[in-house]
A and B are shown apart, each in its own frame.
Chain A
Amino acid sequence: MHIWLGFAVLALVLWGITGVTQKLSTNRISSERSFLWFCWAMVALSAAVLIVARPNWGLGTIVVLCSVAGGALNGLGAWTSFRALESGGKASIVISLISLYPLLTVVLAVLLLGERLTWMQSTGAVTAIAAAILLSMEGAPQAESSGAI
């Protein structure tokens, strides 16, 4: 197995768990308070990375700007997803919409980064997006749960 695939699957698993924890949070507190504590956790994690990893600070301006823009867009996306869940959006529907983000990433990666996909990878990308949509569709009505833990 490729190393990058292992990391991608790890991200998939962790983000999959957050689909549940996000809903459990907004069941009890406002989206703003949820987002604020989400940010504090990120700050704590960043501090830990700073201490443990000792990153290289000799970065170009473009790299720093891209990183800041990535973090800001990520944060805005997290907040809007908390807001969508708080305002009555079912986790299954909200997650289905969020999981469509690769549609944009694939197009931008091909256009801006000049990436080229093999036939297998292109088929895989389309299959992954279709799978994400199908997975997020609601199950049988009798099987619904309140999600309370």
Chain B
Amino acid sequence: MKLPTVGDRTPTDQDVTTYTVDDKSVEIVSDSGEGAQKCGQIFGAVSAKMGNGVWTVEIIPAEVEPPPRNPAGASGIRVRLGSEPVTNWGDETNLVIAFNEQALLGRHRLNALADDATILIENMWATHPDPEIRDQWSAAMEELSEKDYRIVEVPMEDACLDVVDNPRRGKNMFVLGMLAWIYDRDLELCRAQIADAFRKKSPEVTERSHRLLESGYRWAGEHLDFRYRIPTMESKREMVVMNGNEAIALGAVAAGLELAAMYPITPATSVSHMLGDVFERFGGVVHQAEDEIAAAGVSIGASYSGKCAFTITSGPGMALKTEFLGLAIMTEIPLVVVDVQRGGPSTGLPTKVEQSDLLAAIFGQPGDAPHVVVAPATIEECFHVMTTARRIAEVLRTVVIVLSDANLATGVAPYPRPLLSAEWQSTPPDQRPIPEGQRPYDWDPDTGISRRFIPGQLGGEHTVTGLAHDERSKVAYDSAVNVRASTMRSRKLAAFQSTLRPPPVNGDEHGDLLVVGWGSTKGAIEEAVERARREGLAVSSLHLTFLSPLPPGLKEIFSHFTKVMTVEINYSDELGDPFITEQNRRRGQLSWLLRGATLVDVDCWTRVLGEPLRPGKILGAIRDNLPKGGSA
């Protein structure tokens, strides 16, 4: 361990080394409630506004206020900056700002830090009156010395006391000031971003935060000997910066969805917070239902009445809504369901990412329940997917499940500002009287599609039912009707599938290994593939947006690669584990799906670490899984 280098001297300009890098990650870790995330969000937004590529990921404990100074309760945020657009959270972090050594230990033990990371740590604990805390500090420093970290002690609390009475409230803004100096951020932009972040609080909060920002900036300038410069790329397009949940909420507004019913669940809830803030100003209704089931029921009732409604939840809520999804599919009522996936099963990892709901989303409804499942891969897609989902739901009269996840939900990144179109707000359904003889399920035999009857339409009176029914919506138990209705519901998916294009291959269309992914892993997979290709490996990747139905052409694409392997954030057995054979191995969920659909022996590499995949780890998996005799 290197000795602390600051506090005892003031570096001159000559002492400061500025490193120019094109990719840098910083983590801010603290106890819950100390504002590390707010600090990182502001820092990320300012960096994006200055033209850097940015990706931020929140590190959130499951509790609101877990016991302080506890490695498992570490709360924080990682901000990855780049000269070019950043599509994922990267590998290990290079710079850490820690509010206490225990939160830092939590990240250290998860191997989140680069071996040579620089750590700026609050040092009040070293001299704390409580001997137990002083001992914990010493033990932590001992443990941290395993790695070649550069640890810089910072008297944050002392420095903040110069500005405020209670440094616990505001230390984060001091840290923001330090970061602003280290990365040479525009202080005016910082001030404006702070003012926006605290716009709902009293002006004193913003004013105090500004003073802390300046104090941190000044302290860093007087004491630190390193700075980073990350060149920015001139962007030709106007950009916006937000997280995936905010993008979904604004996407729902853009899509003209008019009712959102939900029940609070992590990590989906922030969509509802956002909607609660903006949706009703746009003429929508946000209904916080008494439970997940009711949220589905209210949405279906609203869609039945002629609007298109949506409900948003996470895995446990999906399970509760299952029966209602079947009803919407059976009665052919359009419905958009957003599942912001978290770790599971059961309560699982509420705040952490997993992609384990795929098969449940597609096949989880009892009976044959054909519907559409789509997964946005980026924050930009989180915005646009809502319009797509609504359109599909209304045209096909079925359920569209949108699979987001905790990585997209809390990841913040800039994306090109959407060129909004009023046409996204579909026109209300045809409300004219129903001509004599038309029936509520006049299925087109080729497409299975039929016209939707809306209450209020003269001559369209009928009762929709979850029971088997014929074209008139009359309950029918005979085989012929059941076969026909089942066929028509399924045909809608086939007809829709015929409109999809084969997905584009990232990299050469021939090679040794094709990595297939879905959802939020796209950025990390493509970064890993690019690095592998720079190493000369014949690797390409394919990313699937539609999971049900699958797009056409997959078998053909797969046939040009020696090996196909999915990369996913869900569980799979490893060959070589006790009892595991090729036959009984439980595979990654997309892998199951692709094997069934293509009869290709699709392998998988999956992890359930409770964090987004790191491109470096995927690169390792690519190297390990190249078929023998490959080009490496």
Partners in one complex: no
State the B residues within 8 Å of A (CB): none
